[in-house]
Chain A
Amino acid sequence: MKLLFRSMLAVMIFSAVVRADADADMAKKLYDEVTPSLVAVQYQFKGETINREIVGPGIVVSSDGLVMTPLALFNLVLPDEQLQDFKIIIPSLTKDAEEVEAVFVGRDERTNTAFLRAKDKRDWKPLKFEAIDTQVGQTVYSVGLLPKSAAYKSYLMQGNVAAHLRGEVPQVLVSPGLTASGSPVFNAEGKAIGFINQGPSILLNMGENPELDMASVNNPPKFFTPASDFMQSLNDPPTAGEPQKLPWIGIPNMRGLEKDVAEEFGLKNKPAIEIGEVLPNSPGARAGLKQGNIIVKINGKALERPDEPKELPGIVGRQFKRMKVGDKVTLSVIPAAGQPAKDVEVTLDEMPMRANRAKRYFAEDLGFVARELVFYDAYREKMPSDSKGVVVALVKPNSSAAAARLQNGDIVTQLNGKPVTDLEQFKTDYSTFRKEKPQEAVVLVVIRRFPSTESIRIEPPQ
């Protein structure tokens, strides 16, 4: 009996070893198959006063060279026209990395992704993502790229699904961790099932700062987004040269009802959102939505249950973002505590232009950048939405403008006593004045914390 037991144990150990080897073989195969789909994307940020080369991770997702990256690589703070010289870098284990030219297809804010397309026609090896659910405990793999300082070598990590979180964006928690942000995630069958879209570092070229450069290795990301969340982008990616038209409802300020407040409105265990503000002339205002209305259903469906109420505005905001301009959406709202819900139909408009697409003008001699006033500037300053002016987008350190205490975000409403209507007019008036009277000071009136104003005299370098 004792002998039998001992031999059973031996068999068990032996089979475990065999299984581990099978896992290793599978992982190696996956690593080899996936590596050709992983690329680095590179572009130049050419600001008025600084230049930066930015390199981040990308995944080839179609055979004609479409590459998906995390949205964070193309920060919305950066003006679109200053993102230039896009390249796709194809790493190699045996030779120098190859650089091919690419075009920027665009950001896709519906899914927090961005896309580039190689100009080069070649035999691209795309990854095919599939919306496959995961279970807690199951094995997952991720394959990513090491930074430039490690020659963009691909690396593999293995882990287990630990939990599913709703979050603003659904997230799968993996123990002990995953490869860098921008990497794909696979199940044990080798199917691409997710995308790592957050982590300590998004850049692959932080070489001068080794700590940051290896941040994702030292402190691996632990969450990935399941493919079901971003399939919309893969099936219908943005179009190069056409900025994505996002839908807009005009209720920027929403709040998930906490348990106590929900009960006050008779909404125990029913996720609901309070509207904090309805912008004048927005689709929401036209449909009759009011501040204080409680949204309980969208298109007849109860709101999705979040992990916590704070996530609801994000979840619902994303739900709206995924609709199309012109779509009609029916909201069931409770106007006030004790009243029954009523249906309100809202026709979605296009979201107003944001600062990243605003035209800019560099007043180089005085050292500041003016850009078009966009809807969100007036919103931020609580100014009437039809306000006129141009926005100070940058003040060069130690410049004449800086010495005169001009500040980023100032809204210029007057130039030398004449009202500023738009950027074109500002540009013409400014450049004419500077050309005719190069030695003379410029007097600006700016709005700084509306309705406060400031008169600023900028003396040109003599």
Chain B
Amino acid sequence: MCVILAVAGCASAPKDPFPSATPKAVVDVTGRIFPAVVRIDVATETYRDGKRTFIRAIGSGVIIDEQGHILTNYHVAGRAAEINVTLFSKERVPAKLIGDDHWTDLAIIQLDMEAVKKKNITFKAAEIGSSKQLIPGQDVMAIGTPFGLARTMTLGVVSNNERTFYPEVMSIDEYETGNFSNWIQMDTPINPGNSGGPLVDLTGKLVGINTRGGGQNLNFAIPIDTAKEVASKILATAKPDRKGYVLRADLGVDLKPLQDLEAFFDVNIDEGVLINSVDRNSPAMKAGVKTQDILLTLNDYPINVRFPEEIAAARKRIADLPIGEPAKLKLKRGKEIVTLTAVPEKLQGAIGEEREFKVWGMSVREVTRAYANEAQLENDKGVVVTTRSPGLVADKADLDPGDVIISINGQSVDSLEKFDELYKQTIEKRQPRVLMEVTRGRGARSAVLKVTYAKEPATAPAAGPATVPATQPSN
């Protein structure tokens, strides 16, 4: 600490809360953070032409503890089936996915510690700071492997410490993101490959995870306070046979800031948030919440969203509700005050789990409530077709991406599990014709899959794995 303070030129003065980028400080911090920065090479799972395939990509990451846990972006490693990490020593070791959270665009991977020991590699964990006291104008440094180039340091300032993109909805490969936290905006150059790397202040402490380059010097990082919470939840839920996750609650409401609408709704400034929309079949709808209600308190905690910057915090307040436990909502409806009780459900994104079904030449996804709402489906039953192998069974039966399969051979498909089960049954029985009921747009129709089988019964009817297995082959 003394060194840093000396570098900041105030060894004897009171501690500088915003140490600045003197040449010595920059060089020193760079030297200290480099051993914690890694390059991540991934093979990411994707579905194309009815098949599970892989795309190779490069990102960055930062080591956060002695066990070799690395914090990176969801869009770098969240759907990786194979991960290799290049350390500061230039040594390369395999890593596995521990857990992920697309809502905050974060993922945790872990170095294969046996390989680390075997090769006698040393590494350092970054010192974790706090993003709360970051202020616009403060010097920050971004480190990563842009375009796969080995460790690169860039320098800039915090441009805005509470950037929100509202009302735009952000997404990463179709997955919703950025709903529950604001961003750090900085002019520190970020390029493809920087994703997942650390943003540090001039004391060398981790303050953010570099995530998006906006071009024209508008770059965005996830605040470390958000990342700390997500990382601890992922690490707490991760098991050897399943990925760690962040459990969030959902009421199924769209919130809107009240700025300029206070007079119209006759509310005090800095009071409440507008319920802009209520999802079909959502806990809020079941509880009787209506569009145009003003949510004043949630379990007696006041909710105040006047400005777009305050939206993420209010959403997080809902997300943090205990799932299944009745929550008290105090609402202003016209001139009345209404108190309702809603039972929060587990938050699910619009993009459900996806699997491939090789024999039928197609991949399908679970229909989630959010997807049903978005696609204007009446309920979340069934699975939605995502891709087909050209010229194969599903394609020939004229199934299109977006079609929702609601029954197979007269048995209703209410989930991906059920679909998988019925799929396997038809293969076991070697059924040459499979009758499906499918909805497309408003209408329903029948489709017949004509399936041919190899002479010998297939030994293992192959559905793709549910998700990337947590235990990866260590290759």
Contact = CB atoms under 8 A, between A and B. Distances in A.
B278 interface: yes
Interface residues of A, number: 34
B83 to A, nearest CB: 38
Interface stretch (A183-191, A238-246, A444-452): A444-452
A392 to B, nearest CB: 17
A382 B376 contact: yes
Contact of A457 (B260, B443, B448): B260
Contacts of B440: 276
Nearest to B256: A455
A417 interface: yes
A328 interface: no
B461 to A, nearest CB: 22
B433 interface: yes
Nearest to A276: B443
A443 B262 CA distance: 12
Interface string B245-271: 000000000101000110010000000
Contact of A274 (B254, B291, B374, B446): B446
Interface string B128-170: 0000000000000000000000000000000000000001000
Contacts of A337: 435
Contacts of B279: 451-452
B444 A277 contact: yes
B276 A260 contact: no
A382 B292 contact: no
Contact of B444 (A252, A264, A292): A292
A453 B291 contact: yes
Interface in B347-379: 373-374, 376
Given A264-B433, A454-B276, A457-B264, A382 B446 contact: no
A276 B445 contact: yes
Nearest to B167: A405
B277 interface: yes
A459 B334 CA distance: 22
Given A457-B261, A457-B264, A292 B443 contact: no
Interface in A407-422: 414, 416-417
Nearest to A294: B446
A258 interface: yes
A253 interface: yes
A76 interface: no
Given A445-B291, A455-B261, A260 B397 contact: yes
16 contacts: A258-B398, A258-B448, A261-B446, A274-B446, A276-B440, A277-B442, A277-B443, A291-B443, A292-B446, A381-B376, A417-B334, A441-B264, A449-B376, A455-B274, A455-B276, A455-B291
Given A276-B440, A443-B261, A452-B279, 17 more contacts: A252-B442, A255-B443, A258-B398, A264-B433, A264-B435, A274-B446, A276-B445, A291-B444, A292-B444, A414-B292, A417-B264, A417-B334, A441-B264, A451-B277, A451-B279, A453-B278, A454-B277
Interface of A: 252-253, 255, 257-258, 260-261, 263-264, 274, 276-277, 291-292, 337, 379, 381-382, 405, 414, 416-417, 441, 443, 445, 449-455, 457, 459
